[in-house]
Amino acid sequence: MKYFKYILLLLLLPNFISCKSKTEAQKICENYSTLTPINYDGGSLYFVYCDDGIFSYAYRMDYNKNDFTADAIRIQSVKTEIELTKIINSNEEYIKIRKDKYGLIFSYKDSNNKHMYSVCYSINKQGLYYYDKEFSDKIDDMFKK
């Protein structure tokens, strides 16, 4: 009985050592996951995911992609990128996500769940987010298949 505490400690110690505390980004992701879908004028945030250095927001808009030309969708993509870029490096939530070294994906689908466009951000050498057109194009190409 005297050694029971030590044996129990030796058995449980590997479990305590292997447990990682969650990053701020993972906590934010879990919080969103419990709240989604979050409705707003024009659509909803219906899914949030983070893993392997990527934090992804998936939005579903209240309109049909077929009602817009390809140029109109590109213009909306640029407007979204401009608006996000204004806040992405100063918003407290994104700063926490960035400190945990997560890139960002904002993915937009229409009311029929058809992919419209993505706006992606990577982290530069100065540790700030920048719009990553190449990454955005790759995500868009992935959905075209």
Checking DSSP bridges between strand 103-109 and strand 115-123, what pairing results, if any? Answer: antiparallel
Q: Where are the domains of the chain?
A: 22-144
For every residue of 11-39, DSSP letters joined together read HHHHHHHHPPPPPHHHHHHHHHHHH-SEE
Predicted TM-score (pTM) of this structure: 0.81
**What is the predicted pLDDT for the residue at 145?**
63
**What is the predicted pLDDT for the residue at 48?**
93
Fold annotation for 22-144: GMP Synthetase; Chain A, domain 3 (3.30.300)
How would you write the pLDDT of the chain (145 residues) with one tens digit per residue?
444 443 433 444 444 444 468 889 999 999 988 888 888 878 899 999 999 899 999 999 988 888 889 899 999 999 999 999 999 999 999 999 999 999 999 999 999 999 999 999 999 999 999 999 999 999 999 987 6
Residue 103, token pair as written in the block: 């890139």
